[in-house]
Structure 1
Amino acid sequence: MQPSFHPILTLSITAAADLDKPRRFVGFDGQRCAAAAKALGTNNATFAKGEQASIDALGVILVEAGGAIALGAEVQCDGEGRAVPLSGGKSNGWAMDAASDAGQIIRIARGI
């Protein structure tokens, strides 16, 4: 069962690349967020390059974990736009759920 979420702000941005996996961090440039970079938010569906992509930017939003994450841990982007524990990159929120492995969808509390 997917966790509940409550985005406060959803933006649209032109996808600069195929955003073919939902619930991954997207950069301000409309591409998958680079490792350790600040994200605009997460895409809430899949979008082809050139489409208007809906990005959940603020609130309690969903993201795919890139590995184990502890409840309450601050997270950053990995090289695939997934959430991983903060380790020298830019913060993209705090985990509201724990993840035991990559691929799990978790909630994060995010203010931009």
Structure 2
Amino acid sequence: MQSTPIFKMTVIATAAISNNRFLGMLTGAHCAANAKAQGVANFDAAAGEAVAVTVLGTEKVESGAAVNAGVAVKSDATGRAIAQAGAGEITGYAVTPATAAGQLIEVLLAAP
């Protein structure tokens, strides 16, 4: 598994941020369930710290459940990737699978 970032932005964290999780669009915090994501945090950060966010390309994202390769993914309530079902913003497409929550998968990020 790899990551191929094409475009990154710097965000000031408004809350504690965990590496490899989706961040909400211009929120500085983990993405809410079904919300639009700005990108994926590149490292842990405390509130008030700057964090690099991959916005375009592929990035490693922590899974929130089992995810099959090739499916559209969205954010759960803690910024982890879950399979898109029903309502919610598509944040990307799983390149690699996860068999359970807590595993890293490669995600092709959808443009915000």
* TM-score, L = length of structure 2: 0.94
The aligned residue for residue 93 of structure 1 is 92
Runs of 4+ in 1 over 4 A off after TM superposition: none
Return the alpha-carbon distance in structure 2 between the equivalents of residues 11 and 111 of structure 1: 15
Aligned length: 109
5+ long unaligned stretches in structure 1: none
Identity %: 36
The aligned residue for residue 105 of structure 1 is 104
Return the alpha-carbon distance in structure 2 between the equivalents of residues 60 and 18 of structure 1: 23
Aligned-pair Cα RMSD in Å: 0.8
Q: Is the 8 A contact 2:90 2:110 kept in 1?
A: no
Return the alpha-carbon distance in structure 2 between the equivalents of residues 25 and 110 of structure 1: 10
- 2:22 maps to a residue whose letter is F
Return the alpha-carbon distance in structure 2 between the equivalents of residues 111 and 18 of structure 1: 24
* TM-score, L = length of structure 1: 0.94
5+ long unaligned stretches in structure 2: none
